[in-house]
Amino acid sequence: MGSSLGSMNVDCRIPAVAPTENYERLLQRRQLKRVIALGLGVLLFGTVGFRLVEGWPWFECLYFTVISVTTVGFAEIHEPSQPGRLIVMLIIGGGLLTTAMAVNTLGQHLLSNFHARNRTKMQRLINDISQHVILCGHGRLGQIVRRELEDAGRSYVVIETDAEAIAELQSEGALCLHGDATDEDVLQLAGVERAGGVIAAIGSDAGNVFITLTTRQYNAGCPIVARAEDPSSERKLKLVGATRVVTPYQLGGRRLAHAFLRPSAVELADLALGGQNDHEMLIEEIELPAGSAPHTTTLRDLDLGKRFRLIAVAVRPTGEERPQFNPATDRALAPGDHLMLMGLREDLDACIAWLTEAHG
């Protein structure tokens, strides 16, 4: 682990897509060389063949080979013998094969340039955003996360290794990168230094650990929510810097049990987290903005229930992780404290706007 952390101090600025692009260019050069070599080979074969079989002058042998390869159908300057006609058929076959290879190489070149332009355009869009969420992994779990981010109005960048998933995301206009999220270069291309959050949702606990480590290296204050398949990985993820760790199987199992044992409580939790209807209740965590001068206030002074029909569920003081539930109305609140409020989406938005205007 020590050597791995040490090696991460090396600043690698080479784009993650560069090796792929270089490999594609290398393949294209090789294919182009094969096409040229095959074409020259066909011309050489025909010219030498006609010279040996028919005994024509070298230039006439070359001319006859060229009109045979291109199948232009000019009048023959000589009547070839039976072996000469066999050479003509071989030349025509070689010419057709060369043409097919040339068309294939040209098509691959055009397609490669098209993808390269798309990647460049996508990268420019990603470079223009900040405080976005980087979603690592777009499997079944990642798709749900992306929908929630969209519903919350958060900008995001998806990193995914599956080319089909990337093509679908691009067709929907989503910002995305085709690559491995455990690659430092890919995370840098996604703007990890200026990100407002990272969600490590790939199926490998080791990969999520590396994503967390890399994010902490480039963005020390970035909130990180990591997925853990093995409950024992939760401690490791928190040790390397994860803000929150979610174990889907444990969460799903508890949800199944509570749906049977406490169905009303599960329905209330669904309302609090937001359902399919925008007019349902949900819980929002709101930070009290700093005023023009340091001061304190209370829930009674804010009077959120009367002003906005909101219920104060809990208060999380600045610098603390655990919220204090059912706060008293005379509890002192300071700028930077977080209020957990329950209410309708429009009421919560109105409250945020009021707090920003009155105390911002």
**Exposure on the CB side of residue 357, measured as CA atoms within 13 A:** 6
pLDDT tens per residue, range 117-173 = 777 888 899 999 999 999 999 999 999 999 989 988 899 999 999 989 998 998 898
> Is the pLDDT confidence value at 319 over 80?
no
Q: What percent of the chain has pLDDT over 70?
A: 84
DSSP-derived secondary structure letter, 74: P
Fold classification of 18-124 is Helix Hairpins (1.10.287)
Every domain of the chain and the residues it spans: 18-124, 130-251, 263-359
CB distance 59 to 77 below 8 Å:
no
Architecture of domain 130-251: 3-Layer(aba) Sandwich (3.40)
pLDDT tens profile 203-237: 999 999 999 999 999 999 999 999 999 988 999 99
For residue 109, give the 3-state DSSP assignment. Answer: helix
Q: What is the CATH code for 263-359?
A: 3.30.70.1450
DSSP H or E segment with residue 121: helix 82-127
Q: Residue 12's pLDDT is what? A: 37
- Cα 128 off chain centre by: 16
- Among the ranges 11-20, 76-85, 201-210, which has the highest mean pLDDT value? 201-210
Identify which has the larger pLDDT, 293 or 285: 285
Pairing of strands 156-160, 176-178: parallel
| pLDDT for position 213 | 94
* Model-wide pTM > 0.75: no
Tokens of 128: 């223009």
How many secondary structure helices (H) and strands (E) does the chain include? Answer: 14, 12
